[in-house]
A and B are shown apart, each in its own frame.
Chain A
Amino acid sequence: MEYFTQQLINGLTLGSIYGLIAIGYTMVYGIIGMINFAHGDVYMIGAFQAMIVFLICGALGLTWVPLQLALMLIMAVIFTAAYGWSVERLAYRPLRGSPRLAPLISAIGMSIVLSNYVQLAQGPRPKPIPPVIRGGFQIMESDAGFVVQLGYLQIVIILLTVALMAIFAYLIAKTPLGRAQRACEQDMKMASLLGVNVDRTISLTFVMGAALAAVAGMMVTLYWGVNEFAMGFVAGIKAFTAAVLGGIGSLPGAMLGGILIGLIEAMWSAYFSTEYKDVAAFGILVLVLIFRPTGLLGRPEVEKV
């Protein structure tokens, strides 16, 4: 029971991170019908940005943790959003209107470019940083002496994720920008006939996805304390799995999918095998694609249009 509770906490933490990345996949897919394979690498860039800001803080002697965290968050979000914007501008917009395969290949190319660029700039070896947020609550102890820990960092991650998702859901449902995004999703030509700047709306979608990925990257940097250039690939595929599991194109689906993937991964490593933990996520991807390709919250197409 105690062990299970611990895995539940770990799974929720992990799932929050996957969920934030998954939103980027699902939003881009929703609006332009394309899987942005470079999104995982944008997340990796976010993680490195956070790490670099942390190191700079250290060099400048800024040791007050809240200030460090705020700077990491703001800078990572700004820079990573700029990357997200540039990726769309350089690799996808010129291909708009070409066959579906073209932007997909371009996305894979972009993913390789980004990870190699970081490999060159930061070196191939994993880069560690010391823990920034330590400690936590001991919420249970078994007779055998197993202590269930709820780390302060885990609380920060989960709360920040919940807050971001709430803000995001509001943004999409209630603001003119969110409405324009949904309009583009449903009928891009009609949106432009109403005066929506479709290119700008798509750019902003990439910017928003990248900003969330940056937050995820920062959390991971704090949580694991190690970054490496290839980290975007596996995390990207897991978040993509989360998006597909939840129903690609659905925002609540991405959140739900992320949390489920996090939980499954935590439980799998706890009760089966840590080495094969990635297999669990990918196995689920395969199963979902075979048995329920629209995902859990994906919409069945019933409207007459």
Chain B
Amino acid sequence: MTAMLRISGVRTFYGHIEALKGVDVEVAEGEIVTIIGANGAGKSTLLMTICGSPQARDGSVVFEGQEITRQPTFEIMRKGIAQAPEGRRIFPRMSVIENLKMGAITSDPKYFDEDVEKVFAIFPRLKERQAQRGGTLSGGEQQMLAIARALMSRPRLLLLDEPSLGLAPLIVKQIFQVIREINEQQKVTVLLVEQNANHALKLADRGYVMVNGRITLSGGGAELLANPEVRAAYLEGGHH
């Protein structure tokens, strides 16, 4: 199977700081792949590098056979990639509906109503709050909106950066369930960055462990979950 997304030898810098030191990651169509790692490992940097902000200094990012390493962010995001980024980044002075319209900016307007109904079916909470301003939503609602907004562009590859961060256990469970649904029912490939290794590895087909800007381990989700090193570093004494 050829990879939908192939990241090879990617090095990314912030000024002189090398945040990614030669990263190789592959995601095949239809998969859920997760990247776990400690704070500051470079997980968010990897997702942002895929989107060209910042761009990789070395190496390449290939999406559906097309080199996107040097393309401007807005062009990359028009190719079928969407991201719900770290910190959610909801537009605070726009309503829920307007945030969703922003998500749909690259897709044909004729799909808008249908797509809104779809994301409202996934997140009924957003439907109730559609006129509310993004900035006044609760953290969980903002996370739902961030995912919903990403879905509005009809992506084939969805990048999710710590969707469970700061949410109550019940909501976390819901969010992970939604990710599975999106993957299975809407056939969206998912690359998921998580601190919540337990949940993430259970959900994912495959996973990568990132330490200090490098991939140190990779394997099937269940395999990594059973790995003693992974257990020691990311699971025991951590989240359950």
In chain B, positions 82-120 with a C-beta closer than 8 Å to chain A are: 82-83, 85, 89-94, 98, 101-103, 105-106
Closest A residue, CB atoms, query B93: A186
Question: In whole angstroms, how far apart are the Cα atoms of A196 and B104 in the complex?
Answer: 10
Which of these, A180, A182, A303, contacts B105 with CB under 8 Å? A180
Interface residue B178 (Cβ < 8 Å from any Cβ of A):
no
Q: Are A194 and B93 in contact, with the CB atoms below 8 A?
A: no
Which of these, A186, A191, A196, contacts B92 with CB under 8 Å? A186
In chain B, positions 129-166 with a C-beta closer than 8 Å to chain A are: 133, 135-136, 149, 153
Interface residue A66 (Cβ < 8 Å from any Cβ of B):
no
Interface residue B218 (Cβ < 8 Å from any Cβ of A):
no
- Residues on A with C-beta less than 8 A from B193 are none
Q: Are B94 and A196 in contact, with the CB atoms below 8 A?
A: no
Q: Are B78 and A195 in contact, with the CB atoms below 8 A?
A: yes
Interface residue A189 (Cβ < 8 Å from any Cβ of B):
yes
Which of these, A190, A192, A198, contacts B91 with CB under 8 Å? A190
Which of these, A183, A193, A304, contacts B73 with CB under 8 Å? A193
Question: In whole angstroms, how far apart are the Cα atoms of A189 and B102 in the complex?
Answer: 13
Question: In whole angstroms, how far apart are the Cα atoms of A303 and B142 in the complex?
Answer: 13
Which of these, A194, A196, A303, contacts B135 with CB under 8 Å? A303
Q: Are A193 and B77 in contact, with the CB atoms below 8 A?
A: yes
- Residues on A with C-beta less than 8 A from B89 are 187, 189-190, 193
- Residue of A180, A186, A193, A196 with highest tally of chain B CB at under 10 A: A193
- Residues on A with C-beta less than 8 A from B90 are 305
- Residue of A179, A191, A195, A198 with highest tally of chain B CB at under 10 A: A195
Assuming the A-B contacts A190-B85, A193-B83, A196-B74, are A179 and B101 also in contact, with contact meaning beta carbons closer than 8 angstroms in the complex?
Answer: yes
Q: 1/0 per position for B42-66, CB-CB distance to A under 8 A?
A: 0000000001010000000000000
Q: Are B92 and A194 in contact, with the CB atoms below 8 A?
A: no
Q: Are B135 and A197 in contact, with the CB atoms below 8 A?
A: no
- Residues on B with C-beta less than 8 A from A304 are 92, 135-136
Q: Are A189 and B53 in contact, with the CB atoms below 8 A?
A: yes
Interface residue A130 (Cβ < 8 Å from any Cβ of B):
no
- Residues on A with C-beta less than 8 A from B133 are 303
Q: Are B153 and A195 in contact, with the CB atoms below 8 A?
A: yes
Which secondary structure dominates chain A's binding surface? helix
Q: Are A186 and B85 in contact, with the CB atoms below 8 A?
A: no
Q: Are A195 and B74 in contact, with the CB atoms below 8 A?
A: yes
Question: In whole angstroms, how far apart are the Cα atoms of A305 and B89 in the complex?
Answer: 7
Q: For chains A and B in complex, what number of residue pairs have CB atoms within 8 angstroms?
A: 71
Q: Are A194 and B136 in contact, with the CB atoms below 8 A?
A: no
Q: 1/0 per position for A286-305, CB-CB distance to B under 8 A?
A: 00000000000001000111
Query: Separation in Å of the A282 CB from the closest CB of chain B?
Result: 31
- Residues on B with C-beta less than 8 A from A179 are 94, 98, 101-102, 105
Q: Are B102 and A191 in contact, with the CB atoms below 8 A?
A: yes
Closest B residue, CB atoms, query A305: B92
Query: Separation in Å of the A299 CB from the closest CB of chain B?
Result: 8
Q: Are B93 and A182 in contact, with the CB atoms below 8 A?
A: yes
Question: In whole angstroms, how far apart are the Cα atoms of A293 and B178 in the complex?
Answer: 45
Query: Separation in Å of the B52 CB from the closest CB of chain A?
Result: 9
Q: Are A194 and B85 in contact, with the CB atoms below 8 A?
A: no
Question: In whole angstroms, how far apart are the Cα atoms of A180 and B153 in the complex?
Answer: 15
- Residues on A with C-beta less than 8 A from B78 are 195
Q: Are A196 and B105 in contact, with the CB atoms below 8 A?
A: yes
Q: Are A183 and B92 in contact, with the CB atoms below 8 A?
A: no
- Residues on A with C-beta less than 8 A from B93 are 182, 186, 299, 303
Query: Separation in Å of the A127 CB from the closest CB of chain B?
Result: 44
Closest A residue, CB atoms, query B138: A304
Interface residue A176 (Cβ < 8 Å from any Cβ of B):
yes
Query: Separation in Å of the A203 CB from the closest CB of chain B?
Result: 14
Question: In whole angstroms, how far apart are the Cα atoms of A194 and B78 in the complex?
Answer: 8
Q: Are B136 and A183 in contact, with the CB atoms below 8 A?
A: no
Query: Separation in Å of the A275 CB from the closest CB of chain B?
Result: 43
Assuming the A-B contacts A192-B73, A194-B77, are A305 and B135 also in contact, with contact meaning beta carbons closer than 8 angstroms in the complex?
Answer: yes
Which of these, B53, B72, B106, contacts A194 with CB under 8 Å? B106
**Chain A residues engaging chain B, CB cutoff 8 angstroms:** 176, 179-180, 182-183, 186-187, 189-198, 299, 303-305
Enumerate the 6 nearest inter-chain pairs by beta-carbon distance, A residue then B residue, closest first: A303-B135, A195-B106, A195-B77, A190-B89, A303-B92, A192-B73
* Additional A-B contacts beyond A189-B53, A190-B85 (15; CB < 8 A): A179-B98, A179-B101, A183-B94, A186-B94, A187-B89, A187-B91, A192-B73, A193-B51, A194-B103, A195-B105, A196-B102, A303-B133, A303-B135, A303-B136, A304-B92
